[in-house]
Structure 1
């Protein structure tokens, strides 16, 4: 014990551990990073030395030895959207449980190229993102860099490494639901069609509307905007509401838009669901709140959680399998449709 006193006076290093355990420094590193590859007797000797010296491994050194920083970069949409609140929380919680650090970038589509540059500059072990465009050149760049990646909520046209809802079917279900509830007129509010989510949700709605209502969708009865101008939307909804007789509903491409519409229609003096029904798509946690009680279409699973589970599996097993999940959806009939 006396010969270790000098070591214990300062901070012990892996060299000290190796000397005490009578092994090489490389063996100490293997015990820390790949204990299954070290014989039991040697492993126990190293672990005993670590305990005796109160050795705390240097994470940067371990990263160099293992070739992994255990860092995942998440590029998420704005947290004003409750969908991204739900998914970000699930991603960070699961990754942390698995011993990963998560670097988070919160962006909107306008500054995505600069975000890609910053996110990839430190070469993370994996990339998870919800911001990809349908024809995004980042896919080719990621393949050249050979960085494991997965997208969620949106996907690239190449259908590479994604987790999404069945967006076409979700909008189709919503439109059929409104038809069965005997709504005579539907107003659609969505985003730009250069991302898969809005592209297929709008297509699902339009195709279904024209099939079951036997009428071409009027351009004045829908809005697809990158940034929604709610003053303009108020005017458009009011015009639609006044010119169409019968029972009326608004179908929003996301729950986030639908929740904003609950406020907007209330400001307009329209009672929901008595005078106008509102339905969203996503089934975010906030939609279940008793003061919101939003009728919506979505899945029972969190897309962000599925995506991070698959990404970490890919990283740890060096898997080349394409991640391709399209999650089925269902109607959650609550209080904003009658």
Structure 2
């Protein structure tokens, strides 16, 4: 299959196919969908490094992430890149913005480069895409999505235990009105955190009241979610955030509302970003070892067969870190 075959199937020019595959220029959504559908049906992978490969194996690793604006994904990338550079490899990175179509397009571009390995550090996934990667025996690491297979290594986080610890900790501090702030809650790994929170709240019923809100992943999303909660009339004494990135926005919006953290409301995050330790108040969070994720990704592409079997499925346990943003339930909460 070549570019002309894809263009013919989609009913567009080869230039349009190229723009879609390289994610450049302006292409109508309907046209983009036709091209991506044709690419998928024909299983087309542009061979971008054929000459280089003729000389030997490719020492390039690809990593695709959901949101490079979120420091969590950037930390994983930098950890992988540092280890790769120390060993004479380079790393290519692509961003999906949580969109499955962009994930598919990026995977096809990466595979076209005949990489030494591909890491998918994403919350969105298409099962057919994983099946295709396994079929083609592309060395792949998946984070939070999919299951291990012959050529696919899995890294997952024990979100359930960490969310349960956070909720139990706040409950023991006397909190009885909770809010959960998340984003893209239809995606598996993100919904896991929300669903675990709901289950814990239901376990504590009827002693607790709670609300869940979703917005965009980021500072603005955290701020918007807080406005939604307080405009609804609900007054939580504890806010549990799906990640630190949104929690930073939450802290700012609470300050703008005249609320003190943790005197009026406690806030917790998730991920353990470096920023969480330097904001004021310092953020209580569940730390995920991003350096371990980067190390394990690189190791998966360079280890021998015996070691690969040992690390085929890795479950990382987050560590609860209690800081200044959480405290005992306030006697009275005022909203100005």
- Could you tell me the TM-score, scaled by structure 1's length? 0.71
Check whether the contact 1:71–1:103 (CA below 8 A) recurs between aligned residues.
yes
Q: How far, CA to CA, are the matches of 1:226 and 1:291 in structure 2?
A: 23
Equivalences for residues 130-145 of structure 1 within 5 A: 130-133=121-124, 136-145=127-136
Query: Residue by residue, what CA displacement relative to the aligned partner does 1:8-54 show, whole Å, maximum 9, x if unpaired?
Result: xxxxxxxxxxxxxxxxxxxxxxxxxxxxxxxxxxxxxxxxxxxxxxx
Secondary structure of the 2:270 match is strand
Residue of structure 2 in register with 1:80 after alignment:
69
Query: Cα distance, 1:135 vs. partner?
Result: 5.0
Residue 277 (structure 1) aligns with: 266
Is 1:224 matched up with 2:214?
A: yes
Which of 92, 114, 122 is equivalent to 2:113? Answer: 122
Higher mean C-alpha deviation, range 271-280 or range 77-86? 77-86
Q: What is the deviation of 1:106?
A: 2.4
- Contact 1:74 1:102 survives alignment (8 Å): yes
Partner Cα separation in structure 2 for residue 217 and residue 161 of structure 1 = 40
Q: Which residue of 2 aligns with 1:202?
A: 194
Match of residue 147, structure 1, among 138, 150, 155: 138
Q: Please list, as runs of the form range in 1=range in 2, the aligned pairs for 1:1-338 lying within 5 A after superposition.
A: 63-66=53-56, 68-110=57-99, 111-133=102-124, 136-152=127-143, 154-156=144-146, 161-214=153-206, 221-225=211-215, 233-239=225-231, 242-244=233-235, 248-289=237-278, 291=280, 293-300=282-289, 302-314=291-303, 317=305, 321=309, 323-338=312-327
Change (3 A) 1:284 1:166: same
CA-to-aligned-CA distance 1:176-231 (integer Å, 9 cap, x gap): 0110111121100112234332122112211112112446865xx10234667567
Contact 2:163 2:196 in 1 (8 A): yes
Q: Structure 2 unaligned segments of length 5 or more: list them.
A: 1-49, 328-336
Provide the secondary structure at the position in 2 that maps to 1:302: helix
Task: Give the SS at the match of 1:205.
Answer: helix
Deviations 1:139-159 (A, max 9, x none): 11110111111123x222678
| Residue aligning to 1:25 | none
Unaligned runs of 5+ in 1: 1-59
> What is the Cα-based RMSD across aligned positions, in Å?
2.9
Give the CA deviation at 1:303: 4.5
CA drift of 1:282 comes to 1.0
* Equivalent residue number for residue 44 of structure 1: none
Distance 2:125 2:209 in 1: 24
Q: Which runs of 4+ in 1 moved over 4 A?
A: 60-63, 157-160, 215-218, 225-232, 316-320
The 3 A distance-change label for structure 1 pair 257 and 135 is same
Between the two proteins, the alignment pairs up a number of residues equal to 272
- The Cα of 1:335 is off from its aligned counterpart by 0.9
Distance 2:276 2:192 in 1: 22
Give the alignment's TM-score, normalised by structure 2.
0.72
Query: What is the CA–CA distance in structure 2 between the aligned matches of 1:243 and 1:194, rounded to whole Å?
Result: 24
Q: Which has the larger radius of gyration?
A: 1
Contact 1:188–1:250 (CA under 8 A) maintained in structure 2: yes
User: CA 1:103–1:116 in 2, change beyond 3 Å: closer, same or farther?
Assistant: same
